[in-house]
A and B are shown apart, each in its own frame.
Chain A
Amino acid sequence: EVQLVESGGDLVQPGGSLRLSCAVSGFTVSSNYMNWVRQAPGKGLEWVSVIHSGGSTYYADSVKGRFTSSRDNSKNTLYLQMNSLRAEDTAVYYCARETKNSLDYWGQGALVTVSS
């Protein structure tokens, strides 16, 4: 059975840092394209980043230079390191697997709140 479980969401002050984790079972993270998508409270979905099976990473302009996606193959886990956090980064963050240019498996989400 495929499962993606996010963790690490928390309340953080503006300018602070946080690392989200996405522990995967049922498939190999390093063999897939893995995405992060976020959703601000009461708002729509916003694509954040992707890490390709070859290790290339891409980011939305809104987070470029502040967020870094990585993975630990030994733990089959995806990470999102978030630095210089802003109030507008407050959202539920989902990890999702990409297949056939679509996102077919999603985690349950992790809430990140940026506030003083």
Chain B
Amino acid sequence: DIQMTQSPSSLSASVGDRVTITCRASQSISSYLNWYQQKPGKAPKLLVYVASNLQTGVPSRFSGSGSGTEFTLTISSLQPEDFATYYCQQSFGTPIFTFGPGTKVDI
């Protein structure tokens, strides 16, 4: 089974900061990596698919990169609405998906 890790598990940042979250896979997953944002009490929202493709409607301050086993999600200038928990998810092992443990971004 493919295992996913994320770092850091949480971070504190300020509005306007550049934030980077790292996701690592236990084996190469090519570019089959997606990123989601989840706010308390809400369903997750797809931000980035296949490592670097921005989902329609997602602000351009979000970007994804990486391939193989290491991936990053970057928020270029943190906005108040970006405080949330972020999850990576591998789809290389489809039909079985695996999520990372999450990174909580707070003030």
Contacts and interface: CB of A to CB of B under 8 A. Distances in A.
Whether both chains belong to one complex is answered with: yes
Interface of A: 33, 35, 37, 44-47, 50, 52, 56, 58, 60, 94, 96, 100-104, 106-109
B46 A103 contact: yes
B71 interface: no
Q: From DSSP, what is the main secondary structure of chain A's interface residues?
A: strand
A94 B99 contact: no
Counting chain B residues whose Cβ lies within 8 A of the other chain, the interface size class is 20 to 34
Given A44-B99, A44-B101, A58-B96, A102 B91 contact: yes
A30 B50 CA distance: 24
Most-contacted residue by chain B among A45, A102, A104, A109 (CB, 10 A): A102
Q: From DSSP, what is the main secondary structure of chain B's interface residues?
A: loop
Given A101-B32, A106-B44, A47 B96 contact: yes
B98 interface: yes
Contact of A46 (B32, B36, B94, B99): B99
